A and B are shown apart, each in its own frame.
Chain A
Amino acid sequence: MPIELIKLIPWIPLLGAALCGICCMKPAWRKAAGPISVLSIFIPFLITCGVYSAASGLQGDDKIQTIYQWMGVGNFTVNMGYYVDSLTMVMLFVITGIGSLIATYAMGYMKGERGYARFFMGVSLFIFAMTTLVMADNLVLIYLGWEGVGLCSYLLIGYYYDKPEAVAAAKKAFIVNRIGDLGFALGIFLTYKAYGSVSLHTVVDKAIEFLNDPNYTATTADLWIPFLLMLGAFGKSAQIPLYVWLPDAMAGPTPVSALVHAATMVTAGVYMIARLIPVFQLSPYALPTVAAVGGVTALFAGTIALCQYDLKKVFAYSTVSQLGYMFLGVGALSTFGGIFHLFTHAFFKALLFLTAGSVMHALAGQLDLRAMSGLRHKMPVTCWLMFAGCLALAGFPFTAGFFSKDTILAETLIVGMEGNGLFTLLALIGLLTAFLTAFYTFRLWFRVFMGPEHFEMGDDHGHGGDDSHDDHGHAHEPHEMPWWPMNAPLAVLAFGAIFGGLIFSGWMSGSIETSTANPIAIHAVDTHAQTDPGYSIIQVASDTSGHGSEADAAHGDEHHTLMGMDVHTAMMLISGFIALLGIGCAAYFHWLNRPLTDEIAKKFGVVVEVLYNKYYVDEFYDAVIVKPLRMLGHGFFLFDQFVINGLVITVGYLPRLVGWSVQPTQSGKMQGYGLGMVLGVAVAALLVFKWAF
């Protein structure tokens, strides 16, 4: 397939969105929206597959596929152009592949909902924005996609616009993202200032050049750019302190949650940092900060997930936690680990959300863990599909999540063992989180599917009043989902969640190596780093570049061993054990001996309460940020109303006053006009005469 076809990828979903929009017009057409949307995502997937071999062979300037010049002012040019390297291709596979599976599932899930066509319009638009984001060859175009996914998330989270909590969640997602976007925008401005360009290859190449130049000293801009960009990434990828929007984003339909959490949106931040990793390496504090925030977020969100009762909330916090892992990986210079985890996470998180959606669908909107138990007989397929997803999330040996999480932890530990204590600590936090992950994941699964059968239906009767639903008993009894279009895509996802790690590991590591995401410096941080915090990674880069060509961070350094084994192998054993331990504990506490659990929970009521209320972070933000801002807003409003307004009105009269004073010259009399003209000529001539002589 010719490589030029890749230029079509973002535009097909956009066309799909437009067509879905047209479908909104007539009720008879609305049913067509689902298939249109699925096709508009699936065709780009086929294109991605088709051009893959051509795309991976691209060299140098061929990687830049320009459609047209978007804007040009002096030296500042921005092209509507795409940067195609293996990282782009990986992201495209995730977005279009997982995206089309989710859209297919949604065709069944959303059946009979009000606004069916509107929903699919949003989905297609989402894919347009996300593909633009990952394909863009410059930061401004990335920003377009970045804002695009923000907008689409707002539209889709607020899909049930008649529910106040959905509207509030949509606004929260949008506004919290704005804070991050502000940082991102400032980062782009500063990048342009520092590098003289916003195009990715120029910026990355220059950064690499700086990194390889031993005489280069980092400028202030170099130190600040990563932190500003990071803020954007933290907003979009839901990290501390901007993670609060993601759990609330559950208010949208479940496929939206899957889309936001798995295939699109939240991966944008990880992608952006991976893409610009040399820029981040220029600042000695940037990547450790990324790693620390990632690690802390992973643990923080993991503990919250322990005590949530809402099915989707548990998964939402697990997403935040898993994103923390990705940032930890990227921060430890293991972009391979970060992107690999992004890839596998897309499979199992989409699967988990969609199976949770199936449970919710079956129980008429019921999401409370306490209101369901032992559903395995009613929904066997869903039960085992979710089991596959849970295994992967828990990092059960040889599932997809196991390999990717492992890479991250091992790489972090290696950086730690090279003398950076922070990373050792983060690796330990990562291991603790791995245990928590396994525990809360299987807590949920055992609660829902094991134990005595018991369930309470939710209050969402009749799925939007769709009488033609094939199963009439669904309002009274939980039922299995039909294979097409719902369970079949899930089976594909389950396959990926279990075997994705084994199959794609080698391919992925090769893809990252050949992309700009491949880190330049060896991650070895000299012992100086501990004593002298100002010690720059740049220097490390120059120190170690003499060691030869062994600059491949993904394969670690031969010197480090743990328990007499290669760190990776050791880490696999440890984390595999931890995953099993977590699953075992979950089985004991939440399947076999539930009364004991309740007793323990009562004893530690305060802790549970704090965790259940998510450490009261929302309340904290409300009191510290939202309320004061609102007060300030009221103040400004009064000032505006009485001071500014009065001034403006006064000033507004000035032009009129001038107008009235000169109006008599427009008398309508020709003689007057002639006189005026002659006088004007005379005045002009006299003025020039006076100036000249």
Chain B
Amino acid sequence: MHKAEIIEKVAGLWPEVFMLIGATVCLFIGLSKGKGPRRSTPWIAAVTLIIAAFMVGDNLGSETNALAGMAGYVKLAVAGIGLILLMVTAGVPNRLRQTIDAEAAKEFEPGDIMTGEFYAFFLLSLTGVMLTAGAGDLVWLFLALELTSLPTYVMVATSRDRVEAQESAVKYFFLGALSAAVFLYGFALIYGATGSTDFVEITAIVQQQMAEGGGRLPGLLLMGLTLSVVGVCFKIAAVPMHFYTADVYEGAATPVTAFLAFVPKTAGAVALILLLSLVGWPLPIEIESLIWIIAAVTMTLGNVLGLLQNNVKRVLAYSSIAHSGYILVGLLAGPAVNEAAGGALGNGIAAILFYLVAYGLGTIASFAVLGCLRADDREAQTYKHISGLHKKHPFLAAVMLLSVLSLVGLPPLVGFLGKVYLIGSAFSAGFTMLVIVLVLNSAISAAYYLRIASACYFGEPDDSVYSAGIFPRYAGALVAAVLAVVLGIIGNGLVNATRNATSATQTTAQTESLPAQAAANLRNINQ
């Protein structure tokens, strides 16, 4: 890569640079002695996110990446949902010891106070997702993925002053490192097979190799892709890298779990789209079969394990696995399988991008409700804790109901639209069997989602449960739930945006006009 190209590339990264600056500021201010400045860190994070979102909006269309439209969309979505997550995680770093409110301690104990670090890591992880979306190079992609994950290990470890949190952080870290080794090996093999790390060059070489090999990929490249895909499955919590999910999600503080369920998963899904776009759709039969199996097993495993749980947090963790399976279905379909179908119905990538937001809103809202509750000075986690929620906290019960219904995929909520698009694109691409598996899995998932809803509305209240009383968390839950309704009704604009965002994935000839079009659409949404 030439120097000029690098400069050009960095020039398109102002939002990420700004996020980094914000993170650094948070880190520094978190060290200050006075309470006031330390308490300002969440606000600094919020302002950073808002400004970064506007910068993304301004920057749209000027990116040189062929997937510029998708990158802009993902960055905006991450910044937007990041704001909700910021509300939901409010108060987390402030609750270190069960009995002592760290911020209330008279003496300044730097070792006890995590506020600055927490928000710095928060911003850094989101920066990682943004960088992933903008990646144009394998090395870049690897670094961006790791930038997404590394801060989350710390966030999990410090989110609760309990041994479970540390245990889950250690598990998460080691298994994450293992998976990073796997996909890094995969990246290395891809480099070995093509002699380049640049996406554009790799694509060109792959086309050439396929033409020479009679439409078949060289074995080295195939193996590299396999390892990359399987390795990145860790980020989205798909089989066979799903084992950690339930344990880590359970161990982390609930708001941090919400973060884990959305942020790394988005990065992983985007990374998978980018990796597979190297060979293009329709995918080589071997990769297609592999992802087919992974998708089917992932959603089934997630749902049947979710059925057996009594711990709502673990149920939602398994549901998050199942949703990864759904996302993989869209990945199989790929972009532009059926232009005539319109919307995201004929575009699996657009469907994924929409589904990530749909799933994010539903799952964040449900975790936020759990996070708003405490039982006997511990986290509320089981069905027993949320039973009869309606009688004591009707607002939280309503949010929970909306979010689980959206996750089931009932109209008019956003989850319904998301599933319609996924199923539509997969169906247009001819994956009929997989669509049947998906629909059956939706039915299975309804059993535990509705169990949550029925516990909230028809159970007997548990006296030990009380509200954590953190207002921003309520607000975050409310915003997510309201968005789930609103986007479900007027999701069309967003869909057109995602569709335009991905029209450019393969048809490079149109890259001139389509990202601009996408940018126009995205700007409309932004306003």
Contact = CB atoms under 8 A, between A and B. Distances in A.
A69 B227 CA distance: 45
Given A656-B304, A656-B307, A677 B179 contact: yes
B227 A681 contact: yes
A663 B289 contact: no
Given A660-B308, A677-B179, A665 B343 contact: no
Contacts of A689: 219, 223
B308 A659 contact: yes
Contacts of A678: 178
Given A684-B226, A684-B230, A674 B174 contact: yes
Interface stretch (A71-79, A257-265, A430-438): A71-79
A688 interface: yes
A655 interface: yes
Contacts of B300: 658
Contact of A659 (B171, B178, B182, B307): B307
A680 interface: yes
A658 B342 contact: no
B243 A688 contact: no
Interface string B197-229: 000000000000000000011010011001100
Interface string A659-677: 1101101101010111011
Interface string A609-642: 0000000000000000000000000000000000
Nearest to A660: B308
B309 to A, nearest CB: 9
B222 A688 contact: yes
A28 interface: no
Residue of A72, A75, A681, A683 most packed against chain B (CB within 10 A): A681
Residue of A69, A73, A655, A663 most packed against chain B (CB within 10 A): A655
Interface in B264-307: 285-287, 289-290, 293-294, 300-301, 303-305, 307
Contacts of B170: 670
B345 to A, nearest CB: 7
A655 B222 CA distance: 34
A422 B219 CA distance: 80
Interface majority SS (helix, strand, loop, mixed), chain B: helix
B467 to A, nearest CB: 28
Given A670-B171, A680-B230, A691-B285, A656 B241 contact: no
Nearest to A69: B492
Interface residues on B, range: 35 or more
A685 B227 contact: yes
Contacts of A660: 308
B244 interface: yes
A674 B492 CA distance: 42
A674 B172 CA distance: 11
Interface residues of A, number: 36
A662 B301 contact: yes
A666 B227 contact: no
A658 B441 CA distance: 13
Contact of A666 (B222, B246, B345): B246
B219 A74 contact: no
Contact of B182 (A665, A673, A681): A681
Given A75-B340, A679-B240, A681-B240, A692 B219 contact: yes
B360 to A, nearest CB: 24
A687 interface: yes
A693 interface: yes
B47 interface: no
Contact of A74 (B223, B231, B340, B447): B340
Nearest to A670: B171
A688 B182 contact: no
Nearest to B341: A74
A659 B223 contact: no
B244 A673 contact: yes
Contacts of A693: 219
B175 A677 contact: yes
Contacts of A687: 286, 289-290, 293
A72 B174 CA distance: 47
Contacts of B239: 680
Residue of A658, A679, A687 most packed against chain B (CB within 10 A): A658
A666 B305 contact: yes
Contacts of A74: 340-343, 345-346
Given A75-B342, A688-B290, A680 B226 contact: no
Contacts of B178: 674, 677-678
A681 B230 contact: yes
B286 A688 contact: yes
A679 B175 CA distance: 13
A672 B231 CA distance: 17
B241 A677 contact: yes
Contacts of A672: 243
B243 A665 contact: yes
Contacts of B447: 652, 655
A687 B222 CA distance: 11
Residue of A72, A687, A691 most packed against chain B (CB within 10 A): A691
A84 to B, nearest CB: 25
Contacts of A73: 341-343, 345
Nearest to B217: A692
Contacts of A659: 304-305, 307-308
Contacts of A691: 285-286, 289
Interface in B132-185: 170-171, 174-175, 178-179, 182
Contacts of B345: 73-74
Residue of B175, B243, B286 most packed against chain A (CB within 10 A): B243
A684 B304 CA distance: 22
A672 B246 CA distance: 14
B481 to A, nearest CB: 22
Contacts of B175: 670, 673-674, 677
Interface string B463-495: 000000000000000000000000000001000
Contacts of A685: 223, 226-227, 230
A684 B240 contact: yes
Contacts of B244: 673
Residue of A662, A673, A684 most packed against chain B (CB within 10 A): A684
A205 B94 CA distance: 68
Contacts of B343: 72-74
A658 B290 contact: no
Nearest to B305: A659
Contact of B304 (A71, A658, A677, A683): A658
A692 B213 CA distance: 13
B307 A688 contact: no
Contacts of A677: 175, 178-179, 182, 234, 240-241, 243
Interface in B229-250: 230-231, 234, 239-241, 243-244, 246-247
17 contacts: A73-B341, A73-B343, A74-B342, A656-B307, A656-B308, A659-B307, A659-B308, A662-B301, A666-B305, A672-B243, A677-B241, A679-B240, A684-B294, A687-B290, A688-B226, A689-B219, A691-B285
Given A73-B341, A670-B171, A680-B230, 17 more contacts: A72-B492, A74-B346, A75-B342, A656-B307, A659-B307, A663-B308, A666-B243, A670-B174, A673-B175, A673-B247, A676-B243, A677-B234, A681-B182, A685-B227, A685-B230, A687-B290, A688-B226
Interface of A: 69, 71-75, 652, 655-656, 658-660, 662-663, 665-666, 668, 670, 672-674, 676-681, 683-685, 687-689, 691-693
Interface of B: 170-171, 174-175, 178-179, 182, 216-217, 219, 222-223, 226-227, 230-231, 234, 239-241, 243-244, 246-247, 285-287, 289-290, 293-294, 300-301, 303-305, 307-308, 340-343, 345-346, 444, 447, 492
The 6 closest A-B pairs by CB, nearest first: A680-B240, A659-B304, A673-B243, A74-B342, A691-B286, A659-B308
